Structure 1
Amino acid sequence: MWKIPVIIYFLFFTPTIALRAQVEWDLQKCITVALERNSNLRISKLDIDSKASDIHIARNERLPGISAFSNISSNFGQSQDIFGNNARNDNFNSNIGVSSNLSLFTFGRIKNNVLKAESTMKASQEDMELEKSNTRVEVVQAYLQVLLQKEIGRLMDSNTYFSALQVKKIQKSADAGAAALSVLYEAKASHHRDIQKQAMAEQDLDKSLLSLKQTMYLSDTVNIVVDDDISVIERLSMNYLDSERYLADLWTEHPLTKKYRYLNESLLADGKIIRSTRYPSVDLSVNVGSFYFNNLTSSFGKMAFMQQMRGNFSQQVTLSFSIPIYNKNMVKQNIQKNRYQLEQNVEQLALSKQKFYQQIEKYLVDCRNYERQLALTNDALASTQLAFSISQKSFEAGKISIYDLNNSRANLLTAESEVIQVRYNLIFAKLLVLIMTKGDI
């Protein structure tokens, strides 16, 4: 006899345990997955790594270059000397050695190349931070859209359940002859309309879930269960007040500000590199090696190869000066172009700063407006709920028609939907302020 309760327990409670065991995806997990799988961020990371290599290349310019050389050649035929005498010049020759070159003085070109490469890499890092911030905004929007559609879906489920109960009650009255068939058919038609709205809500939920998965670069076949606890996100969104309070100081450390700061540093270094080409440069070269030569017309191999190589061993030290005289006015034009780029960055930063504050101001105004709208829609919902309760009792008492009851129920559904929509709009606006000012939530 004890086996029956155990079987019943497993039949009814095992699905519940499995459902609870399934890990729910909260907002932070969705953001983390999206950042890890974002293809643009991976490309940005490769770009940063590439620019880091440019820094090492620029720094290594300070080191001497060392190379070994060797060649073997043979000449056949005759040649004429300066006196007009012709003679055979068949010979076999080769040389071998090691050479090294070192830039001694470049008027700061190497130093500024390093600074330019470092600043360019830092600007790319700030670009990646901006991309991360945009990704967080996309995930937050998609995530809240899923929660909104789930709320609307539950609202439609409740509405459909109510209309089904209404059909049953009217069916009993119609069977007893207390209700007209037109009232019954209208109740059934209303119930079918609610089923249609329920199906549409389910379809919208599927679309929003697909959009969230695509934002996280996940396939639609991946099953995710979104955490429905909106209260956690609401508490999180309250941090936007700090952003509003310290908004004046946030711009100085914003990734967009830092990006243009580094771009300007790179351009300033590039300007110094351009100017350095006006000045002389000094290079040191060292060559160590030997050569072998044998005239084939006077018995090949008369002098041993190794004997010549040892005897012809030489060292050469060269100090070379490169003095620019005329470069077709290229330096002047490049300096002017560099100055234009700096001015363009200043204007672009000012424009970005203006747009940034305009967006923040808009979202802050949205927050205040949505807070007022939420209070008003809640008041309207309370009144609509009271009106529907009265309409329901009036219909049961036969004082109003089924059409009046359905109209009252439609008004209640609209009021509930408006409260949900405004609530989520408020949360999204607050989180936008938070992400734009701090980059994260």
Structure 2
Amino acid sequence: MILSKQNIIIAAFLFLFTATFAQEPISWNLKECIDYAIENNLTIKQADNAIEENKLTKETNKWARLPNLNGNVSQGWNWGRSASPVDNSYTDIKTSNANFGLSTSVPLFTGLEIPNQYALAKLNLKAAIADLKKAKEDLSINVTSKYIQVLFNQEITKVAENQITLSQEQLDRGTEQYNLGKLSKAELAELKSRLKQDEMQFVEAQNNYKIALLDLTQLLELPSPDFFGIQPLDGDLGFDNLTAPTEIYESALLFKPQIEAAQLRSESAKRSIKLAQSGFMPKLSFSANIGSGYFTIQGQDSEAFRRQLSNNLNKYVGFSLSIPIFNRFATRNQVRAAKLSLNNQLIQLEDQKKTLYKEIQQAWYSATAAEAKFQASKSAQEANNESFTLMKEKYEVGKANNIEFNEAKINLMKAESDLIQAKYEYLFRTKILNFYKGEPIE
């Protein structure tokens, strides 16, 4: 079917229209952002792959006790001169032979190497799972930080927009006074300058909001911040008594994945010592095979293929015992290396515990400081808001000049900005502290 030029134009227009309006605006809450980030983050996917690799290693070691079974087939040809034992004459001879066989072996005793390898694989798998939990927790904290930064810049933008409204009202009033001859040209120019400065601050706040939103979408692995928005955090700020750092630490030791991973790797190091020590012990294995062959000489009659297979059938069973006597101190050094690795893992475990305690201490003191800052900022904002309301009333009846009004307005904007910053800092700090208590970030 041949499309007309008109149909092609209509189809192209519909395609562009669909591409432009197909994408609906979306608005996610914090939990949705965290869930999406975890699902699409490349580091998380790498940690998932590490778990799958450890599962394969565990499965391999699990079935190491089973017997193996191998089949073998060979075909060979020989040709050349051969001496006769009767008259010392030489003749050219060509032969061919084919061999068939099955063989199996079973490890009966490996110096406990197989059970130690399996136990080691299980510990490594658990450690990989703990690493994945830690990666998810770190990503959740990063998303929360970016999310709160977007909310902060969003509210700062609203404050800047309100300042423009106030400055515009002030300019409108000043223009009326100027037309009545009650305001000088210089004072009117000052009002216009103040409005332009507020507009510039609004543009800067908008840019900061867009950059914060871009940072969040990039962390979420979204292609673009267009058509994307976030929802405000639910709930009011509460000021319950904060749990002491030592209590939080004692509880966090029981479930934090970085501690679990370090403990599991210490257990793995202990198991590695036993694995290395298996090199000192003898190893016993059982093996068996069955085989047959077919042989022909050129120019001579040969038995039938089936008869030769029956006549040439051979069987073998046997046990093999390997006793280590001296291997140039290789096993001894492997045991020593495994013990050093255990010491390193125990040091890393202690380091993880100390790091966790320091993080909890810092989170606790930051939360208490943020709470105090929020309370002070709230009181300052209420005082400045009351002061600005009174100043606005005085300004509207002509009992205050532009300088006094602008000063009160600037003080109010600063107080509101400080309050917003203190609020979201407190929100973030308390969420981090609750995170160390085991509460999910939502």
Q: TM-score, normalised by structure 1?
A: 0.88
Amino acid at match of 1:406: N
Q: Is the 8 A contact 2:51 2:125 kept in 1?
A: yes
Query: How many angstroms apart in 1 are the aligned matches of 2:138 and 2:184?
Result: 59
2:218 aligned with 1:214, yes or no?
yes
Matches within 5 A, 1:240-251: 246-251=248-253
Amino acid at match of 1:148: F
Structure-2 change in CA distance of 1:111 and 1:90 (3 Å): same
Query: How many angstroms apart in 2 are the aligned matches of 1:381 and 1:375?
Result: 10
Which residue is equivalent to 1:223?
227
The answer for unaligned runs of 5 or more in structure 2 is 1-20
2:262 aligned with 1:266, yes or no?
no
Amino acid at match of 1:180: S
Which residue is equivalent to 1:341?
341
Q: Is the 8 A contact 2:360 2:433 kept in 1?
A: yes
Q: Is the 8 A contact 1:38 1:217 kept in 2?
A: yes
- In the TM superposition, residue 69 of structure 1 has moved relative to its aligned partner by 0.6
What do residues 347-380 of structure 1 show as CA deviations (whole Å, max 9, x unaligned)?
A: 1111111111111111111111111111111222
SS in 1 for 2:253: helix
Which residue is equivalent to 1:48?
51
1:201 corresponds to which of 199, 202, 205: 205
SS in 1 for 2:318: strand
Amino acid at match of 1:258: E
- In the TM superposition, residue 48 of structure 1 has moved relative to its aligned partner by 0.5
Q: TM-score, normalised by structure 2?
A: 0.88
Q: Which moved more, 1:116-125 or 1:242-251?
A: 242-251
Query: How many angstroms apart in 2 are the aligned matches of 1:198 and 1:262?
Result: 53
Structure-2 change in CA distance of 1:344 and 1:75 (3 Å): same
RMSD (Å), alpha carbons = 2.5
Aligned length: 416
Structure-2 change in CA distance of 1:81 and 1:238 (3 Å): farther
Q: Which moved more, 1:22-31 or 1:419-428?
A: 22-31
Q: Is the 8 A contact 1:68 1:98 kept in 2?
A: yes
Query: How many angstroms apart in 2 are the aligned matches of 1:80 and 1:262?
Result: 71
Which residue is equivalent to 1:35?
38
Which residue is equivalent to 2:374?
374
Matches within 5 A, 1:113-128: 113-128=117-132
Query: How many angstroms apart in 2 are the aligned matches of 1:97 and 1:428?
Result: 71
What do residues 139-193 of structure 1 show as CA deviations (whole Å, max 9, x unaligned)?
A: 1001101111111111111111110011001101111111112211111110110
- In the TM superposition, residue 222 of structure 1 has moved relative to its aligned partner by 4.8
Structure-2 change in CA distance of 1:177 and 1:80 (3 Å): farther
Q: Is the 8 A contact 2:141 2:432 kept in 1?
A: yes
- In the TM superposition, residue 91 of structure 1 has moved relative to its aligned partner by 2.6
Same amino acid, percent of matched pairs: 23
Which residue is equivalent to 1:389?
389
- In the TM superposition, residue 243 of structure 1 has moved relative to its aligned partner by 8.6
Q: Which moved more, 1:212-221 or 1:395-404?
A: 395-404
Matches within 5 A, 1:130-145: 130-145=134-149
Which residue is equivalent to 2:311?
311
Query: How many angstroms apart in 2 are the aligned matches of 1:81 and 1:208?
Result: 96
Structure-2 change in CA distance of 1:122 and 1:363 (3 Å): same
What do residues 288-333 of structure 1 show as CA deviations (whole Å, max 9, x unaligned)?
A: 111223344xx43332222111111121102111121221111111
Query: How many angstroms apart in 2 are the aligned matches of 1:377 and 1:427?
Result: 14
Q: Is the 8 A contact 2:103 2:289 kept in 1?
A: yes
The answer for unaligned runs of 5 or more in structure 1 is 1-17
- In the TM superposition, residue 413 of structure 1 has moved relative to its aligned partner by 0.7
Which residue is equivalent to 2:355?
355
Q: Which moved more, 1:238-247 or 1:183-192?
A: 238-247
Which residue is equivalent to 1:15?
none
Query: How many angstroms apart in 2 are the aligned matches of 1:58 and 1:214?
Result: 41
Structure-2 change in CA distance of 1:160 and 1:168 (3 Å): same
Structure-2 change in CA distance of 1:367 and 1:81 (3 Å): farther
Q: Is the 8 A contact 2:249 2:356 kept in 1?
A: no
Q: Is the 8 A contact 1:92 1:295 kept in 2?
A: yes
Q: Is the 8 A contact 1:133 1:439 kept in 2?
A: no
1:186 corresponds to which of 174, 181, 190: 190
SS in 2 for 1:389: helix
- In the TM superposition, residue 200 of structure 1 has moved relative to its aligned partner by 0.7
